[in-house]
Structure 1
Amino acid sequence: MNKRIPSDIKKSYLLWLVAVGAGVFEMAIAVTQMLSSGSEAGMGIMIQVGIRSLIFAALVYVIVKMQRGKQWARIVLTILLGGIGTVSLLMDPIQWLMEGNSLDTALTGMTVSSTLFGISRIVHLASVIAALIFMYRPSANKYFSSFAGA
């Protein structure tokens, strides 16, 4: 059965991919910083990159399944990326502020790397929130319920 994919689901799909892309970009920045700082944890870094790459690939699989109307995929994205992922994106900045740091300090100490990372993090978070919203709009709900009996 070939069902038309609603615009809201298409938007959600693209936004989820943007979020994953931002995550990959942030990982690349972090790895570049670690390697350029002379860190001797080269093998550990490569293992982390491998694990994260597998996770990103699994998330893309789930995103594709969501676009194809799989309710389980919508639930997984809501919990893992919308819930746990969002909390993990916000924990570091909140913890940093709770340690007594200020936004002034952040802005005056910015480097190209930290600026790119910060912009990516904002894009990442905005993409997740928008993807969640589109994934639960009325046309999306109707789309997913049309697969319930299939």
Structure 2
Amino acid sequence: MEQPETVKNATLLWATAITAGIVETVLAVSEIAKDSGLDSGVWMNIGVRSAVYLGAFVLVGFFARGRRWARVSLALLLSVVGLAAMVVPSAMQLSDGESLIAAVGGDGDFAIAFFVVRLLHIAAVLLATGLMFSPGANAYFRKPELATA
């Protein structure tokens, strides 16, 4: 079975979400470097995030090739855990009276850029999640020969 458009589009959206996460990291590190320099904790954070982004790209590659376990992994790790990690802290700040820009983008020089990229990131995750469980994608992932790989 040929890969349906919904899976192709979900793959593109996952790549967009991961790239947005990378851009967010660059913006956050740039803000930290501007203010106080980069200490070992920041470098450790960059290393961990790099491993997460690389792992996410690998999962997306397996997802695009029709691997059910990759679809489930993306759903659990990025759609649930990753999305919660982005949304819950911002929601808590909003409930404490912060403005939307401050709650999502922070208060530094890159706040607006971070805000825009974060919204793109969230939208890409939500759309990719919906597409990867659409009827066309479900049929693609039901293929018997894909279940064993």
1:129 aligned residue? 126
1:91 aligned residue (83, 88, 92): 88
Opposite residue 116 of structure 1, the aligned amino acid is: A
Equivalent AA in structure 2 for residue 140 of structure 1: A
Distance 1:86 1:103 in 2: 17
Tell me the amino acid that sits aligned with residue 24 of structure 2: E
Q: 1:34 to 1:72 in 2, by over 3 A?
A: same
Equivalence for 1:56: 53
Which of 10, 16, 38 matches 1:12? 10
Aligned 8 A contact 2:31 2:108 in 1: no
Residue of structure 2 aligned with 1:113, choices 101, 107, 110: 110
| Shift, 1:112, TM fit | 5.0
Runs of 4+ residues over 6 Å off in structure 1: none
Shift of 1:42: 1.7
Distance in 2 (alpha carbons) for counterparts of 1:17 and 1:104? 25
Q: What does residue 35 of structure 2 align with?
A: 37
Bigger Cα displacement from structure 2, 4-13 vs 86-95: 86-95
C-alpha separation between the residues in 1 aligned to 2:118 and 2:39?
A: 25
Aligned residues: 145
- Aligned-residue offset at 1:104: 8.4
Amino-acid identity (%): 30
Instruction: Give unmatched runs, 5+ long, in structure 2.
Output: none
Using structure 2 for the length normalisation, give the TM-score. Answer: 0.89
CA RMSD of superposed structures (Å): 2.0
Distance 2:88 2:141 in 1: 32
Larger RCO (alpha carbons 8 Å, 6+ apart) = 1
Flag structure 1 segments of 5+ consecutive residues without an equivalent. Answer: none
- 2:143 equivalent to 1:148: no
Q: 1:31 to 1:140 in 2, by over 3 A?
A: same
